[in-house]
Amino acid sequence: MCGIAGYAGTLPRDEAAMLLRRMSGAIAHRGPDAQGVHVGNGAGLGHRRLSVIDLSADGAQPMQSADGSVCIAYNGEVFNYIELRGILEARGRRFRTASDTEVVLQLYEEYGPEFVTHLNGDLALAIWDERRKRMILARDRMGVRPLFYTWHRGAFYFASEVKSLLQVPGIEAEIDPFALDQIFTLWAPIAPRTAFKGIFELPPAHVMIVEDGEARSRPYWALSFPEQDHGDVRPQSEIAEELRALLDDATRIRLRADVEVGSFLSGGLDSSIVSALAARMAPNGLRTFSVTFDDTEFDESAYQQTMVQALGTKHHAIACGPEDIAGIFPAVVWHMERPVLRTAPAPLYQLSGLVREQGMKVVLSGEGADEIFAGYDLFKEARIRRFCGRQPSSQIRPHLFRKIYPYLSSLQQQTPEYLAAFFGTGVDAPNDPLFSHRPRFRATAGAKMFFSRDLREALAGYDAAEELASAMPETFGRWHPLHQAQYIETHFLLPGYILSSQGDRMAMAHGIETRFPFLDHRLVEFAARIPPNLKLKGLREKHILRAATADLLPPAISERPKQPYRAPDSASFRGPVGDYVDEIMSAEAVSANGLFNPQAAAKLLEKCRRDVATGFRDNAAFVGIVSAQLWSREFSNTVSSRSREAAI
Amino acid sequence: MSDAIKSQVRAFIVENFLFGDDSTPLGDEQSLIESDMVDSTGILELVSFLEERFGVAMADADIVPANLDSIARIAAFVARKSEPVSG
């Protein structure tokens, strides 16, 4: 795991080396073990290294091919590098190092840009082919590792994080109002758009070739689902057996490292499965890591302890107290590089810090199972909405909404009439591609009422949800409704929010590499073909996954209902540690930034301070405004104090 | 009576659900749900306000959009609940 940066264009050699050092210095947290730069003829690469495989200097990057004509800077891991090395050796290739980097480099030499289709891993990379004068950029299929790019004065620049690009003289941070609208509707910008105007991300599963002053990108893989009634028709037992074999292998190859590999353990089904599999494969025992909450509404420590005792792991936990989130939130925004509507990334930032304190660099995570095996409550909600839509006058059917949200007290107190009204958004349009997500998007968009008049005018007529709807693939309409909802979660929200804001950016803030067995593309493709009723059986989520892993877990874990990962939002900022919010939400600061209505923001802050802002909209708006104000403070000056410190 | 109730309800909605932003017209018949002004927590805030301000006792069966989804409906509902019970 590492950070990369670079450019393609003509820069003076001395200037280029200095710039590459500054760019990679700005992301030193991603790779604290070593750094390197390579300046070629027409391009340059910078690298920060987190040594995980082949810890010797042989694995240093940027790495050049034997004849010096090809150079690679690479962030991430290729988990099947041992098998790929064997294939290349059988074709007559010889290796100088034991590193996976050299395997990727030689794979490119062997296959050209198509080499990416051979990789099973989480990576973002840049390869400079000096003979052909072309730069190849690529990103893993699911979007685990980030890669951003922009053009400036005729040169192409790229990096693992935007703060690296802001080191280039003349590239400045300016909020993209359409990205802000997308975040305040969909939770994330739609790739390639980012929160920074004019700076883009390479979408997951894409390869980009930059040559002759032009960049062309194309997908090399796409998530797809079978057309209705064309999925896996085998008996459940056979499907479960193959699922288990794939999951075993996905976990096994993700334990490959020359350092110890640990595991996150939330106490939920998914991380418990991953930890149980890893514990069986770790001859010297497994170390597990959890975050606990003082607030019992969010805490899962009892389940964590059940798993620790069942597996006999060496366990480490960090408590997230009432003021911890407020204290670290400015750093969290700095690392996320975007406004957010939830504080949920913050405890994960703390957790990664704990892993680093324990001297570890690599952890497994259960992330991805909710997307590919239909674990989220939203999938059940969509099923119930269709059920209610068939009998709109029913007083009985809306009660089911209470059943799937037992942890939302305000919903528990609603009458069937109001439940039907809240979840009724779009029930009369069952063929709408966003049917499953309409209530969530609509509820989230309520937070846009705090947008300033200027921002509203800039966005006049724009509809983020419609832009997302128009981006669905051609075959989407012929998929089962559950698969349509899964696609939106897996293709858009997983890389756009879960793997970035809550994933890579929080872990890499502390130089921690996270690995995701459920996101092995073989498993993702297999899960897509599993019939919907084996994933969501009635209102029982992840049915087939539970069946395939029943022997691994105590019944208290394998049968427990889904508890979504959440963290306290506006309540986190009520104590003295959150006093800085008074300044960033002051009328002067809000007016100066121009994004929000200062009077409305002041009333929202006052409501939060009085502890009466407990609704979804108020909390989302509050966290959104605080994070957007922090974003502007941290990034709006090209070189903020934080980036200056990092670059030095 | 009804206009006075409407005025107080409108002030509460503008202050609590629109955070003082009265730049957009808020019609008496405008749906609070369709306008995205209230969510599930907002309904409970509204009920609490009506009970405290007007002294009406709200049974579960009263908490339905037919009674509460616009300023006009709320005012009519409060007026009904406030009427003395006649023999």
**Structural domains of chain A sorted by starting position, each given as residue range(s) with its CATH number in brackets:** 2-219 (3.60.20.10), 236-321+328-338+345-372+491-558 (3.40.50.620), 377-448+458-489 (no CATH), 570-647 (no CATH)
* The one-letter amino acid at B79: A
* Nearest residue in B to A602, CA atom: B19
Cα(A305)–Cα(A315) distance, integer angstroms:
9
CATH code of the domain containing B13: 1.10.1200.10
In this predicted structure, what is the pLDDT of residue A223? Answer: 97
Structure tokens at A243: 């699922």
Q: Do residues A150 and A193 make contact, with C-beta atoms less than 8 angstroms apart?
A: no
Cα(B51)–Cα(B66) distance, integer angstroms:
17
Q: Do residues A299 and A293 make contact, with C-beta atoms less than 8 angstroms apart?
A: yes
Chain B interface with A: residues with Cβ < 8 Å: 15-16, 18-21, 23, 33, 36, 39-45, 60-61, 63-66, 69
Give the best residue of B17, B18, B19, B22 to mutate against chain A (max A CB count within 10 A). Answer: B19
What is the residue range of B15's domain?
A: 2-22+37-82
Give just the sign of the alpha carbon dihedral A209, A221, A514, A63: negative
B87 assigned to some structural domain: no
Cβ atoms within 10 Å of A531's Cβ, excluding its own: 19
- Assign A494 to helix, strand or coil: helix
Count of domains for chain B: 1
Cα(A203)–Cα(A217) distance, integer angstroms:
9
B53 assigned to some structural domain: yes
Cα(A218)–Cα(A239) distance, integer angstroms:
33
**CB-CB neighbors (< 8 A) of A597 in chain B:** 19, 21
Taking all residues of chain B, what is their mean pLDDT, rounded to a whole number? 89
* Closest to A578 (Cα-Cα) out of A634, A623, A615: A623
Query: How confident is residue B85, by pLDDT bands cut at 50, 70 and 90?
Result: low
* The one-letter amino acid at A445: A
Q: For the CA atoms of chain B, what is the radius of gyration?
A: 13
B57 assigned to some structural domain: yes
Which secondary-structure segment (H or E) carries A558? helix A555-558
Residues of chain A with pLDDT under 50: 638-641, 644, 647-648
**CB-CB neighbors (< 8 A) of A413 in chain B:** 40, 44
* Closest to A619 (Cα-Cα) out of A265, A343, A357, A264: A343
Q: Give the distance between the most distant pair of CA atoms in chain B.
A: 46
Residue A100 assigned ligand-binding role: yes
Considering only CB atoms, A410 lies closest to which of B21, B40, B60, namely: B40
Cα(B31)–Cα(B72) distance, integer angstroms:
10
Structure tokens at A140: 């893993």
Cβ atoms within 10 Å of A251's Cβ, excluding its own: 24
The yes-or-no verdict on residue B1 having pLDDT over 70 is no
Cα(B70)–Cα(B85) distance, integer angstroms:
25
- Assign A155 to helix, strand or coil: strand
Give the best residue of A381, A405, A408, A449 to mutate against chain B (max B CB count within 10 A). Answer: A449
Structure tokens at A566: 């959440």
Q: Do residues A348 and A290 make contact, with C-beta atoms less than 8 angstroms apart?
A: no
In this predicted structure, what is the pLDDT of residue A635? Answer: 93
Cα(A440)–Cα(A461) distance, integer angstroms:
20
DSSP string, A589-627: HHHHH-SB-HHHHHHHHHHHHTT---SHHHHHHHHHHHH
ω into A192 cis (within 30 of 0): yes
Compute the residue count for chain A.
648
In this predicted structure, what is the pLDDT of residue A417? Answer: 92
Considering only CB atoms, A415 lies closest to which of B36, B39, B63, namely: B63
Sheet holding A70-78, edge to edge: A63-64, A70-78, A121-129, A134-139, A206-211, A214-219
Residue A366 assigned ligand-binding role: yes
In this predicted structure, what is the pLDDT of residue A647? Answer: 47
Cα(B49)–Cα(A95) distance, integer angstroms:
75
Q: Which residue has the tokens 């409060």?
A: B78
B30 assigned to some structural domain: no
Q: Which residue has the tokens 């003509």?
A: A10
**CB-CB neighbors (< 8 A) of A620 in chain B:** none
B9 assigned to some structural domain: yes
B32 assigned to some structural domain: no
B64 assigned to some structural domain: yes
* Nearest residue in A to B17, CA atom: A618
In this predicted structure, what is the pLDDT of residue A60? Answer: 82
Cα(A93)–Cα(A96) distance, integer angstroms:
10
* Closest to A320 (Cα-Cα) out of A577, A556, A624: A577
The yes-or-no verdict on residue B9 having pLDDT over 90 is yes
* The one-letter amino acid at A633: R
Structure tokens at A486: 């899964």
Phi, psi for A312 (deg, rounded to 5)? 65, 35
pTM of the model: 0.94
Q: Do B41 and A618 touch (CB under 8 A)?
A: yes
Give the best residue of A184, A185, A393, A413 to mutate against chain B (max B CB count within 10 A). Answer: A413
In this predicted structure, what is the pLDDT of residue A615? Answer: 85
Cα(A396)–Cα(A409) distance, integer angstroms:
19
Which secondary-structure segment (H or E) carries A347? helix A345-357
B73 assigned to some structural domain: yes
How many A-B residue pairs are in contact by the CB < 8 A criterion? 73
Q: Do A417 and B43 touch (CB under 8 A)?
A: no
